[in-house]
Amino acid sequence: MAGLKAVLFDNDGTLVDSRELLLASFHYAGPAVLGRQLSDEEYLQKVGQPLAVQVKDYTDDPVLQERFCEAYRAHNKTVHDKMIKAFPGTVEALAELASAGLKLGVVTSKRHAVAWRGLEVVGAASYLDCCVGWDDIERPKPDPQPVVRGCELLGFDPSECLYVGDAPFDLQSGNAAGASTAAVTWGMFNEPVLTAERPSFVSHTWDELIASTLALL
């Protein structure tokens, strides 16, 4: 691929280190609603998809699913700003990519307002030209629709865009949309899980991602 015009990023696990925030919210909602605590691995296995999708693995009861989401979000809201942080080098990387003339955006399975709040808190929002949350689309990742919507908002064809994520669902969505994809290994999923989705390239550090991305210009 050459002629790259824009880069879209996943949020949690890619730009924002929210692992401890997510686990704190899960640890609250599990006992409060389900009466039991799941393992961290069970809670995190589908991070990258909407919470309403994830919770179906915890209980088949639609009422409990809704109560779990409500409890999770209520707790998350109380600790969000003090627990959320950018991965080291994130803001500097966004600044460098923006200065190279690339349009930047976020495509996330979080609600739009919550994701944008986090990006503001960590200092990343000012470099971003769009944000697509799960409440902005009809079909969440791994469907291609979220990435396609992000490309539309930035004004480019998916073939001119790169989607960067730390989850297999990110890469599935980006590949299906017709975008190039980059897997990053500092998030929630290990490298073999990511390479199985055949990303355009894998980056272990922000410096690697910047170099590989700028090579596509």
**Set 10, 17, 136, 166: catalytic member:** 10
Annotated catalytic, 10?
yes
Separation of alpha carbons 90 and 113, rounded Å: 20
pLDDT score at 98: 98
Cα Rg of the chain, angstroms: 17
Number of H-type helices and E-type strands within the chain: 10, 8
Band the pLDDT of 112: cuts 50, 70, 90. Answer: very high
Q: What is the mean pLDDT of residues 43-63?
A: 94
Band the pLDDT of 1: cuts 50, 70, 90. Answer: low
pLDDT digits (tens, 9 = 90+) for 159-204: 999 999 999 999 999 999 999 999 999 999 999 999 999 999 999 9
pTM for this model (two decimals): 0.95
Q: What is the mean pLDDT of residues 91-96?
A: 98
Separation of alpha carbons 213 and 122, rounded Å: 23
Average pLDDT along the chain = 97
Question: E strands within the chain?
Answer: 6-9, 16-17, 85-86, 103-107, 130-132, 161-165, 180-184, 201-203
